[in-house]
Amino acid sequence: MITKVSSDRQGIQSVEVGFRLLRVLASTNRPMMLRDIAKGAGMPAAKAHRYMVSFMRIGIVEQDASSGRYDLGAYALELGLSGLGRLDPVRLASPILEALCEEIHETVALAVWGTHGATIVRIVDAGGPVTITLRPGTVLSLCKSATGRAFASFYKSPYLKQMLDEELRQESEASKTAITTVRRNLEKQLTEIRGHGIARATGSLTPGINGFSAPVYDHTGSMVAAITSLGSTGEFSVDWDSSVAKAMLHAAQTLSHRLGYGHANS
């Protein structure tokens, strides 16, 4: 759990003031002149210069000798990478899953890509009359489950392609349908999923159970997890613009933001 510092706790004001300069640099993604940094931080250039000298001494800021422009230094990069290395999607997802379950009143789960495929790692049960037979460690079908379809649509891995090919082969044999037809049908579904940014399944894996699954991205823009919701057919709408779908997308976006997604372009 992250503890926020209350406003009445004593700190060092000069540190807080100095970090306003770093925020300006971080938000622009380019080297800046001192006068522009100072203006962005709302302080006189002479005062900003003293802070920048100290920041350069510890390596968190650097200055180009020819242009005089300032930029974040090597130590700022070290801090950023260290922070990113501490981001755990499973840990960060817990409060988001709890809030989502409370909002939509359906069972929700988090899945990651494991050795055997799309794997459930966290579940928040809504406690409804219908029991969802899902447990941590469950590996889900790439073709038939909402979670698997989310990974098949958005996750990049050569191993996923191998697993998907094998699953399609098995489906072709079981249904006695040409594999080209099976593959074409799946690709049509995946194209639709990519267009909406969220996957869905209607009783295709477990009879009587519908599901949505939204991709979660990290700071590199890569999918690292999926947030899934499940409910009984008839009460769980799988319309693309349903309130559940919107809540799912918002939860996935919130977790993605916590993992650094989009920060580089913000």
The per-residue pLDDT for range 172-188, each reduced to its tens digit, is 999 999 999 999 999 99
| Residue numbers of the chain with a pLDDT score lower than 50 | 1-3, 5, 264-266
pLDDT score recorded for residue 237 = 85
Q: Which CATH superfamily is domain 89-265 in?
A: GAF domain (3.30.450.40)
pLDDT score recorded for residue 226 = 97
- Summarised one tens digit per residue, pLDDT across range 38-54 is 999 999 999 999 999 99
Sequence spans of domains, the chain = 13-85, 89-265
pLDDT score recorded for residue 129 = 56
CATH number of 13-85: 1.10.10.10
pLDDT score recorded for residue 76 = 84
pLDDT score recorded for residue 208 = 76
pLDDT score recorded for residue 173 = 93
SS3 track for the chain: CCCCCCCCCCCCHHHHHHHHHHHHHHHHCCCECHHHHHHHHCCCHHHHHHHHHHHHHHCCEEECCCCCCEEECHHHHHHHHHHHHCCCHHHHHHHHHHHHHHHHCCEEEEEEEECCEEEEEEEECCCCCCCCCCCCCCECCCCCCHHHHHHHHHCCCHHHHHHHHHHHHHHHHHHCCCHHHHHHHHHHHHHHHHHHCCEEEECCCCCCEEEEEEEEECCCCCEEEEEEEEEECCCCCCCCCCHHHHHHHHHHHHHHHHCCCCHHHC
- Summarised one tens digit per residue, pLDDT across range 156-175 is 988 898 899 999 999 999 99
